[in-house]
Amino acid sequence: TTTGVQGVLDALDGHASDEGPFKRTLRELMPCLTKEMATEEVTNTDEGWLEEGHELVGKRVLRVFPSGASYGRVTKWLPEAENEPALFHVVHDADGDQEDLDEAELRAAIDEFERAEASDAPQFELEQPKYVNMMEKRPQRITVASLGLTGVRTELLELEENVAVRLRYSASKWDHPDSDRQAWLYSCQRSESLVELGELLVSLEAAVRALQLAPDVNERKPWRNEGHPFIGKHSRRFFANYGASDGIIVGWLPAEGDDPPLWHMVHGDDADEEDLDEMEATFALSNYDENRTEPTAEELAYNAQFLQAGDENDEADGEDDDETAEPPPAAALLPMHR
């Protein structure tokens, strides 16, 4: 379930040396995993849904939403249970979206469809010409096969094909006749689960990692989870177009050379993470302790100062560039924006 996958992601706290790559991969696949699992949960036929046995199954419907109208079809139904009315599962034609309707809602949608079919008025759906991205060369264009489960599988197989050549020349046993490569390819080609594809990616990474001779080198010392009063404290940050987000400061890095100390905050609502300097961490702790609903004037002034310093650095870097780009809007650079 999505809750289980989120629990795995939350449990990866970075203490183990080999968690980083897996956590990044899992975070990248999280949107696809969530969408696929949600679809599987909605369409689970083991929960009593029936594809026959009711006159309304198979009926065409027209649903009218504030954003427009959508045609669909009733694919199955769930008989009424104790204190629960019967439900009917509708799949929409245009985008495959699904919803469950009670009988009154469904009959209203069927009536809308029949009125639209009987009238001489134009249909709600307007057929649009097929869009072709002419700005990119054909090999670089994104197609339907590049999206979702199929796209992930294709990318993973292409990655393995490129990596296998290098593994072969590096004396790896990945492509050895007695290796598990053929089983890996078989599983990848027939997999219908993003979770399984993620596990296959991790096993491929393990084959590459086995050739690494030198130990991993951290750019900075590992995050410390003790030794500072901020550790374990609740904090609150404010973000433009989002509002307040609470979290906990879980680690810190002492100052080293010209690098200032940093504090690592994990947000509780979406498990997002960010690193804060001392002023940002102090503001975040105070915001939570005072139960503030908006940043103080001092925090806004500090954010503006931070933005100005960033603009000056960008201008200095831009003098050495042959091509200049239009700078982003100021709000996009504020620490308040996630």
For the chain, the structural domain boundaries read 45-118, 145-209, 234-333
CB 74 within 8 A of CB 56: yes
Rounded distance between C-alpha atoms, residue 314 and residue 41, angstroms: 47
pLDDT of the residue at 180: 82
pLDDT of the residue at 76: 92
Cβ neighbors of 233 (< 8 A, separation 6 or more) are: 248, 249, 285, 288
pLDDT of the residue at 125: 53
What is the topology classification, in CATH, of domain 45-118?
SH3 type barrels. (2.30.30)
pLDDT of the residue at 43: 47
Give the pTM: 0.34
Q: Which of 294 and 221 is assigned the larger pLDDT?
A: 294
The dihedrals phi and psi of 236, each to the nearest 5 degrees, come to: -140, 130
SS3 at position 188: helix
**From start to end of the chain, where are the E strands?**
60-65, 68-78, 87-92, 98-102, 234-239, 243-253, 262-267, 273-276
Would the pLDDT of 39 be above 70? Answer: no
Rounded distance between C-alpha atoms, residue 245 and residue 238, angstroms: 6
Would the pLDDT of 91 be above 60? Answer: yes
Q: What's the pLDDT tens digit per position in 103-152?
A: 999 999 999 988 888 876 555 555 566 677 778 887 777 777 778 888 89
Q: What's the pLDDT tens digit per position in 61-80?
A: 998 887 778 889 999 999 98
pLDDT of the residue at 102: 92
pLDDT of the residue at 287: 94
Rounded distance between C-alpha atoms, residue 312 and residue 293, angstroms: 31
Biggest alpha carbon distance in the chain?
78
